[in-house]
Structure 1
Amino acid sequence: MTTTTCRTELPSAVSPAGRRLLVISPVRDEAAYLQATIDSMVAQTVRPTVWLIVDDGSADATPDIAAQAAARHDWIRLHRRADRGAREVGGGVIQAFNEGLAQFNLNEFDYICKLDGDLEFGPWCIEGLVEKFEADPELGTTSGKCFDKTSSGCVPLRTNDDFSLGACKFYRVTCFRQIGGFVPEVMWDGIDCHRCRMLGWKARSFPDEHLRVYEQRPMGSSHKSILHGRFRWGYGQYFMGTHPLYALAICAYRTCERPWIVGG
């Protein structure tokens, strides 16, 4: 497992794209992490037209943190949902996302992004991803690469180049409409990329350093534990119709990921 220094190197030149971007962040009990995400967003060289934080029934200070940000920045908004009683990853996240999306007319935007509330990223991230779209009209969805922060550095999370990250997933609105949005199930962030390619669009995640996003907690640990997250991944593969032998091969390949052995 390789590690790298937790930093974001800026590109030599980036020009403003002038595009309209809607960002929606479904969050629940993210008080320990949300402020860092807000700080990263406020520091962007190109900010979204609107960033809607959808609080999905948090029991901690998450909505207060979001409300304070909305009071300081007119492009940040907060929408609060009733408490469903427990965190529901996968389908629940997309239900919260869709409730936020229903408040907008997508015709008013060029790009849309689903963003987690526990990330950190450098100031050129949004501008750089919009430039990827501008450079390739066939690009339907995109992201940077994701890293887990650890005591020994930042560990890159495996993401195929032909997939975009669920944690920070950008879409061209035209493509997003054609795939019918996100499926409210576990593995929604894989299904959408398959659907994207089936319709002739490209799905990409780019390794450029200034596009990286950093998880403030281990990926898959937001609900119960990392091990529970691995079982959830297995159900998602079943839901997508993945062949059992292929799933077993992935499990064997990922036994070298943290937590060791059970990571697969």
Structure 2
Amino acid sequence: MLSYVLITPVKNEAKFLYTLANCIVNQTILPKVWVIVDGNSSDNSVEIIHELCRTYQWIHLKKQETITKQKNHLNFSYGVYEGYEFIKDTCIKSNLNYDFVGKIDADIILPTDFFEKLITEFINDPFLGVASGVSYDLKENDLINYDNLNLKKCVKKNYLPQELPDKRLYRRECLENVGGFPLSKYSPDTVLLTKIKLRGWDIKTFDNVYVCNLRDDTGTERNLWKSSKSYGNNRYYLDYSPLLVLANALYLAAKKPYYPGFSYLFGYISSCLRRDEKIEDLEIRNYFRCKRLKEIMGIVLSRKHQILSK
């Protein structure tokens, strides 16, 4: 039977850990190893993880070794990176094999067949490298029902066209093909998915699989402005083409509440004016500076041709 392992980086997630654990231990297919990487929590997260480890031998606590003080994604990158290295060592020592690697956050609800459904999609498509479900924000915290969650009371998360919900399952061969999880100051998931795409693997989101986020941290105007501005900063770091940035800004500004498009553009321009650091990976920079824009233009022209030919 095909199997998988899981990584969950946490910091001060005691509020959500029991709910997440209930989702995982009730999966129709259990993970071979689940490592929870603690990034120096100051609440009782570690105590909860120790309790879970005592109850389930396949759950492990890993203390994150490298923790930076910078307010970017590098700490998260180290948590995922160290978690995967821990899993590889654990599987070698215990003579365990696995076919897929999952990365999930602590503040989510998963239906009990979440991983079974994704694994089925991998079986049906040998070229599928990354699979994800549709992501929702849970607005009513009392709706903790894994299999009968009323999605009408949830809000579907919106992503830019080139993005993907971040609760994913990776084919092991695909992940090893790109050198594992990258260490990146900004947008490590985008860097990873781009490398996977450039090596010819399929990346898909499946509408019959969903995940719900328990923490709604983008609801206020302040947080939404801040997160959108951060997107702009990140796009500068990845060396996005200015035309691609403008297209994304217009996409965001075309929908309510409209202003994220402006804060996104402001973030990019402010990084330009400061001449902030850019990613050193030339493969990534070349893709977002040149190739991605050509891809989008090809898609637009193809759709225009389809409309005119009807």
Give the shorter-chain TM-score range.
0.7 to 0.9
Counterpart residue number, 1:8? none
Larger Rg: 2
67 and 86 in structure 1: CA distance in 2 versus 1, 3 angstrom threshold: farther
Q: Tell me how far 1:165 sits from its aligned partner.
A: 2.6
62 and 249 in structure 1: CA distance in 2 versus 1, 3 angstrom threshold: same
Counterpart residue number, 1:165? 165
Counterpart residue number, 1:150? 139
251 and 218 in structure 1: CA distance in 2 versus 1, 3 angstrom threshold: farther
Contact kept in structure 2, 1:148 and 1:215, CA below 8 Å: yes
40 and 55 in structure 1: CA distance in 2 versus 1, 3 angstrom threshold: same
Alignment: residue pair count: 241
Show CA shifts across 1:134-160 (max 9, x none): 111000111101111125821111347
Greater mean alpha carbon deviation, residues 174-183 or residues 226-235: 226-235
- Long gaps (5+) in structure 2: 141-151, 262-310
Counterpart residue number, 1:239? 237
1:122 is matched with which residue: 111, 115, 119?
Answer: 111
Between the two proteins, what is the percent identity of the paired residues?
Answer: 24
Which one scores higher on RCO, CA 8 angstroms, separation ≥ 6? 1
Superposition map of 1:79-158 within 5 A: 79-81=62-64, 84=67, 89-105=72-88, 108-150=97-139, 153-158=153-158
Residue type at the aligned position of 2:6: V
Show CA shifts across 1:204-244 (max 9, x none): 11111xx21111113668xx944332222112211222222
Counterpart residue number, 1:5? none
81 and 125 in structure 1: CA distance in 2 versus 1, 3 angstrom threshold: same
CA distance in 2, matches of 1:46, 1:214: 19
Counterpart residue number, 2:192? 192
Residue type at the aligned position of 1:21: Y
81 and 236 in structure 1: CA distance in 2 versus 1, 3 angstrom threshold: same
33 and 86 in structure 1: CA distance in 2 versus 1, 3 angstrom threshold: farther
CA distance in 2, matches of 1:239, 1:87: 15
Counterpart residue number, 2:181? 182
Q: Greater share of helix residues, 1 or 2? A: 2
- Look up the SS of the partner of 2:14 in the other structure: coil
Contact kept in structure 2, 1:163 and 1:204, CA below 8 Å: no
163 and 58 in structure 1: CA distance in 2 versus 1, 3 angstrom threshold: same
CA distance in 1, matches of 2:72, 2:51: 26
CA distance in 2, matches of 1:236, 1:64: 35
150 and 90 in structure 1: CA distance in 2 versus 1, 3 angstrom threshold: same
Q: Tell me how far 1:60 sits from its aligned partner.
A: 0.9
Q: Tell me how far 1:83 sits from its aligned partner.
A: 8.5
Q: TM-score, normalised by structure 2?
A: 0.70
- Give me the CA root mean square deviation: 2.6
- Look up the SS of the partner of 2:130 in the other structure: strand
Q: Tell me how far 1:256 sits from its aligned partner.
A: 6.5
CA distance in 2, matches of 1:117, 1:143: 16
